[in-house]
């Protein structure tokens, strides 16, 4: 008997989404990479960058902008890629359970599946794999771009960067799945997750800019993901923290999901 | 014989709305049980609690001897369920959808599925998005019956089906009973269940009003009859027939309400040159009035 029926269907449902989002992300990376030689050869780059306000220099790690990794960190990995990944992941996470519930397809699924928690587990696994696939596309594009444009990024550095962004978005995707499993409402799931992600991002920023926030910044998943890069050689326990936290949020939602009434 | 479904003081409250108020039911194993009530009576609420999709506020239900809440997974294995607002994945074909559910359930029977698809004349190669409401409902019926469950719980199964397919459904349900299954189905009109139900329960505003064998209910059920004659008929002919009430005459047409057998009405109408007859069940509300009146008398 086929053991992972729901997982398989969920992945199949995401095929087109992965394809479309993967292409967009790859395009983003390629365009930015193609601009690198021009940026590198700008005569006054150092002076130009030193004119940046202090806050932006910190957030976008401008001091390393002259290196390929620093350039890509500033242009892609500090803001745009995490944002794109989060939108994708939160959107999918909110849809997987709450979306089916709102579409009224969940009733029959729950009655045909071995158990409610099995449905939740397989959907969570599918979400992780889906976002992971997007991360894989990012990794491959980075690798090929680095090679084609002679950026000489270390494979380990690329891995560190893509895994950080992927883990960050899996964490918030699982949060959206969990809130959807508890509430049965897609908008609630996406809304709350986006709000918490925004708050975490603000904490990450404040932690960099204001000394009073510094002790707390480690709590933000954005700090865990984006500190020291994320493209770069320094691995931290942040990745593990993000995955563990996502799993914990999901596990915390399970008892409520298995007991509550399904919406009509 | 143990009951296939029992509810004991089963109640459900949504905020200040009492959707179901202490329902006590016993559905005999091997019967077709009609669960009737006007819209908003609490039928869907009851059925969702039987399927463990909602939890009782108070009371409990057992399904095939299992607790509907605690033993939910086991109940699901043995019951075929058609939800009231059955919705399948719009982007799949009927066949793909049934394949999916078949893979989820270890015990789906491909031959049985083929037979159901044939009987309902369902085109499984079409995308569900492109199907009419009736054809979507057929997909729902096939998935409920295709694993030969011991019990079928069907929420308004014939809604959206044309009369021919309603007949097919009745044959499928009767055959399932003949094979030993129990069928529990809800409806808001008596006409949909009268041909197949052995027993009927009527709920209204969350309360059980009556449980009765179908023959008894039919004896007491009211029908609206409209008789058209060649010549204007005398109202007095019908007024005196026992069980007849509310006789009105309009030109060549007589309208009346009858409780129980229509035989005497037709005997009286035949010599008067009757040209046309339209008979229909009174709405459930009115059938219930009959019950209240005769119970208090
Ligand atoms: N999820 C819900 N929230 C609030 N009220 C509900 C909910 N479900 C049903 N109701 C109310 O409970 C009553 C019974 O509804 P329902 O069981 O759907 O009736 P039926 O299926 O007999 O038409 C109705 O008044 C309905 O408005
Ligand atoms: Mg209903």
Which pLDDT does position A39 carry in this prediction? 84
Which pLDDT does position A66 carry in this prediction? 81
CB B182 within 8 A of CB B145: no
B162 to chain A, minimum CA–CA distance in Å? 23
B79-82 vs B151-155, strand pairing mode: parallel
Q: Where are the domains of chain B?
A: 3-217, 222-280
Among all ligands shown, which has an atom nearest to the Cα of B50? Answer: 1
Among all ligands shown, which has an atom nearest to the Cα of B37? Answer: 1
CA angle A38, A43, A47 (to 5 degrees): 115
B54 to chain A, minimum CA–CA distance in Å? 4
Chosen from B104, B106, B152 to mutate, greatest number of chain A CBs within 10 A: B104
Of B19, B203, B288, the one to substitute when testing ligand 1's pocket (max ligand atoms within 8 A of C-beta) is B19
Runs of H (alpha helix) within chain B: 43-50, 72-78, 94-104, 110-119, 133-145, 163-178, 214-220, 236-239, 263-269, 284-296
CB B115 within 8 A of CB B130: no
More confident residue, A11 or B237: A11
Q: Cα–Cα distance between B119 and B176 in angstroms, integer? A: 14
Of A5, A116, A259, which is closest to B104 when you measure between CB atoms? A5
Which pLDDT does position B291 carry in this prediction? 64
SS3 B158: coil
Cβ separation A264–B103 shorter than 8 A:
no
Conformation bin of residue A150: beta by default, left when phi > 0, alpha when psi is -120 to 50: left
Cβ separation A114–B73 shorter than 8 A:
yes
Q: Does A47 touch chain B (CB under 8 A)?
A: no
Chosen from A9, A108, A184 to mutate, greatest number of chain B CBs within 10 A: A108
Q: Cα–Cα distance between B154 and B184 in angstroms, integer? A: 6
CB B241 within 8 A of CB B264: yes
B253-259: strand order across its sheet:
B244-250, B253-259, B222-229, B274-281
Chosen from A112, A117, A122, A262 to mutate, greatest number of chain B CBs within 10 A: A112
B253-259 vs B207-213, strand pairing mode: unpaired
Q: Does A103 touch chain B (CB under 8 A)?
A: yes
Confidence category of residue A1, pLDDT binned at 50, 70, 90 = very low
CB A138 within 8 A of CB A165: yes
CB pairs < 8 Å spanning A and B: 59
Q: Cα–Cα distance between B87 and B119 in angstroms, integer? A: 21
Q: Which atom of ligand 1 is nearest to the CA of B155?
A: 21
Strand ranges inside A4-124, DSSP E:
none
More confident residue, A58 or B87: B87
Cβ separation B51–A9 shorter than 8 A:
no
Residues of A (7-46) whose Cβ lies below 8 Å from B: 9, 13
Output the CA B40–ligand 1 centroid distance in Å: 6
Residue A155 reports pLDDT greater than 70: yes
Which pLDDT does position B236 carry in this prediction? 79
Residue with CA closest to ligand 1 atom 12:
B19
Q: Does A54 touch chain B (CB under 8 A)?
A: no
Mean pLDDT per block of 10 residues along chain B (297 residues) reads: 91 96 97 94 98 97 97 96 96 97 88 96 97 97 96 96 95 96 94 89 93 80 85 80 85 86 83 85 68 54
Cβ separation B79–A111 shorter than 8 A:
yes
SS3 B19: strand
SS3 A262: coil
**Considering chain A, what percentage of its residues have pLDDT values greater than 70?**
99
Which pLDDT does position B24 carry in this prediction? 97
Cβ separation B73–A115 shorter than 8 A:
yes
Which pLDDT does position A214 carry in this prediction? 76
Global pTM reads: 0.89
Residue A175 reports pLDDT greater than 80: yes
Classify domain B3-217 at the CATH topology level: Rossmann fold (3.40.50)
For residue range A75-120, list pLDDT tens digits in order. Answer: 889 899 999 999 999 999 999 999 999 999 999 999 999 999 999 9
Instruction: List, chain by chain if needed, residues with CB within 6 Å of any ligand 1 atom.
Output: A 264; B 14, 17, 19, 37, 39-45
Bridge partners of residue B127, in order along the sequence: B93
Average pLDDT value over all residues in chain A: 91
Contacts of A7 (CB under 8 A, 6+ apart): A122, A123, A125, A126, A129
Which pLDDT does position A17 carry in this prediction? 94
Could you name the CATH architecture of B222-280?
2-Layer Sandwich (3.30)
Which pLDDT does position B296 carry in this prediction? 47
Residue with CA closest to ligand 1 atom 13:
B19
CB A68 within 8 A of CB A110: no
B253 to chain A, minimum CA–CA distance in Å? 45
Contacts of A83 (CB under 8 A, 6+ apart): none
Which pLDDT does position B2 carry in this prediction? 79
Q: Which of B211, B188, B180, B179 is nearest to B198 (CA)?
A: B211
Among all ligands shown, which has an atom nearest to the Cα of B86? Answer: 2
């Amino acid at each position: 008997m086929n053991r992972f029926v729901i997982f398989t269907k969920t992945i199949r449902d995401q095929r087109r989404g992965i394809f479309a989002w993967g292409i967009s992300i790859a395009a983003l990376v390629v365009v930015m990479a193609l601009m690198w030689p021009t940026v590198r050869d700008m005569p006054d780059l150092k002076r130009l960058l030193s004119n940046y306000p202090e806050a932006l220099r910190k957030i976008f790690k401008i001091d390393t902008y002259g290196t390929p990794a620093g350039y890509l960190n500033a242009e892609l990995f500090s803001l745009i890629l995490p944002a794109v990944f989060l939108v994708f992941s939160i959107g999918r996470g909110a849809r997987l359970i709450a979306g089916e519930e709102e579409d009224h397809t969940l009733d029959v699924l729950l009655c045909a599946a071995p158990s409610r928690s099995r449905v939740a587990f397989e959907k969570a696994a599918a979400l992780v794999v889906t976002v992971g696939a997007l991360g894989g596309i990012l990794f491959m594009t980075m690798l090929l771009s680095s090679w084609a444009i002679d950026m000489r990024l270390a494979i380990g550095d690329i891995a560190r960067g893509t895994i950080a962004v992927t883990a960050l978005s899996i964490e918030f995707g699982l949060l959206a799945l969990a809130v959807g499993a508890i509430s049965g409402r897609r908008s609630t799931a996406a809304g709350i997750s986006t709000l918490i992600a925004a708050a975490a991002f603000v904490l990450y920023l404040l932690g960099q800019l204001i000394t009073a926030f510094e002790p707390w910044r480690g709590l933000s998943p954005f700090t865990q993901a984006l500190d020291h890069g994320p493209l770069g050689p320094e691995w931290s326990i942040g990745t593990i923290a993000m995955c563990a936290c996502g799993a914990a949020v999901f596990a915390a939602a399970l008892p409520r999901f298995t007991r509550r009434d399904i919406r009509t | 014989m143990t009951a296939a479904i029992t509810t004991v003081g089963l109640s459900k409250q949504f905020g200040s709305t009492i959707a179901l108020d202490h329902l006590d039911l016993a559905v005999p194993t091997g019967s077709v049980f009609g669960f009737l009530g006007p819209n908003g009576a609490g039928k869907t609420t009851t059925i969702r609690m039987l399927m463990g999709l909602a939890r009782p506020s108070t009371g409990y239900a057992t399904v095939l001897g299992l607790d509907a809440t605690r033993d939910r997974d086991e109940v699901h294995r043995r019951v075929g369920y058609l939800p009231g607002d059955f919705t399948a994945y719009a982007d799949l074909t009927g066949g793909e959808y049934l394949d999916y559910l078949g893979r989820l359930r270890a015990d789906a029977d491909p031959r049985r599925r083929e037979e159901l698809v044939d009987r309902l004349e369902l085109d499984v190669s079409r995308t569900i998005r492109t199907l009419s409401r009736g054809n979507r409902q057929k997909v729902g019926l096939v998935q409920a019956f295709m694993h030969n469950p011991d019990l079928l719980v069907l929420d308004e199964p014939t809604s959206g089906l044309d009369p021919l397919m309603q007949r097919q459904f009745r044959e499928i349900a009767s055959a399932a009973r003949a094979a030993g299954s129990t069928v529990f189905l809800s409806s808001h009109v008596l006409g949909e269940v009268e041909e197949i139900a052995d027993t009927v329960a009527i709920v209204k505003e969350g309360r059980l009003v009556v449980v009765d064998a179908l023959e008894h209910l039919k004896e007491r059920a009211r029908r609206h009859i409209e008789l058209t004659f060649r010549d204007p008929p005398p109202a007095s002919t019908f007024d005196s027939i026992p069980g007849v009430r509310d006789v009105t005459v309009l030109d060549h047409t007589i309208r009346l309400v009858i409780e129980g057998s229509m035989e005497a009405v037709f005997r009286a109408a035949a010599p008067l040159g009757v040209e046309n007859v339209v008979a229909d069940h009174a709405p459930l509300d009115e059938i219930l009035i009959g019950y209240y009146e005769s119970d208090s008398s």
